[in-house]
Amino acid sequence: MDIPYTVELRRDTGLNNGKIGIWLFLASEVMLFGALFASYILIRTGSPVWPRGDTILDVPLATFNTVVLISSSVTMVMAWASLMRRRFGTFRIYMGTTILLGAVFLVVKYFEYGHHFHLGEFPSHNNFLALYFTLTGLHMLHVAGGMAVNAYFWGPGAKLWKTNPEWFINRVEHAGLFWHFVDLVWIFLFPTLYLL
């Protein structure tokens, strides 16, 4: 027996399973990052002195990473649009580029982290660095998770395109929603940690 509403829409909500599922998941993610942002506010406002992010962190590198992540959001949505136009080859190019841009983001973060560790700046160094490593570390895990899902749809998961293209388009759309959320979180992390 097939699972209902994987492709067709429910009459009452106008949504399929995957769409409502991914939005409920993203709602829980908002609360997860919200808790950490609340911790940031609490610790920062309770601290008599707080360093400006740009005195400790590398703003040009982070700006570059912001552009990388925004670009990856565009390539992700273009991958979905390619499937909607029934152009599977173009989808592969855009999805591959999205995965590559995610990898570039992580490599840049690797060098950023490496630089701090080289200077002896670990999470235990001070509250600012503890928050920086926690927030960016959790965000990096999300980037890595999103890359794994995208890589699955670029590779083995793409077989579904031949047997059930509509279901495949839905899955890519939902993977895209997660990826855009990861971009959205970075849009707030960047000024909060690096510029203020």
In the complex, minimum distance from the CB of residue 120 to other proteins, in angstroms, rounded to a whole number = 26
Which residue in 148, 144, 152, 142 sits closest to 182, CA to CA? 142
Cβ distance to other proteins smaller for residue 15 or 114: 15
| Cβ(149)–Cβ(178) below 8 Å | yes
Tokens of 2: 């097939």
Residue 89: count of CB within 10 angstroms of its CB: 7
Which residue in 111, 102, 108, 103 sits closest to 182, CA to CA? 102
In the complex, minimum distance from the CB of residue 130 to other proteins, in angstroms, rounded to a whole number = 16
In the complex, minimum distance from the CB of residue 170 to other proteins, in angstroms, rounded to a whole number = 13
Cβ distance to other proteins smaller for residue 70 or 148: 70
In the complex, minimum distance from the CB of residue 155 to other proteins, in angstroms, rounded to a whole number = 23
In the complex, minimum distance from the CB of residue 128 to other proteins, in angstroms, rounded to a whole number = 14
Q: Which residues bind other proteins (CB under 8 A)?
A: 13-15, 19-20, 23-24, 27, 30-31, 34-35, 37-39, 41-42, 45-46, 54, 59, 63, 66-67, 70-71, 73-74, 76-78, 81, 84-85, 176-177, 180-181, 183-184, 187-188, 190-192, 195-196
Cβ distance to other proteins smaller for residue 147 or 185: 185
Cβ distance to other proteins smaller for residue 160 or 184: 184
Cβ distance to other proteins smaller for residue 46 or 120: 46
Distances (CA, A) of 147 to 116, 122, 158, 175: 25, 26, 15, 10
Residue 114: count of CB within 10 angstroms of its CB: 10
CA distance 151 to 135: 24
Cβ distance to other proteins smaller for residue 139 or 180: 180
Distances (CA, A) of 100 to 14, 54, 115, 142, 163: 34, 27, 23, 15, 27
In the complex, minimum distance from the CB of residue 4 to other proteins, in angstroms, rounded to a whole number = 17
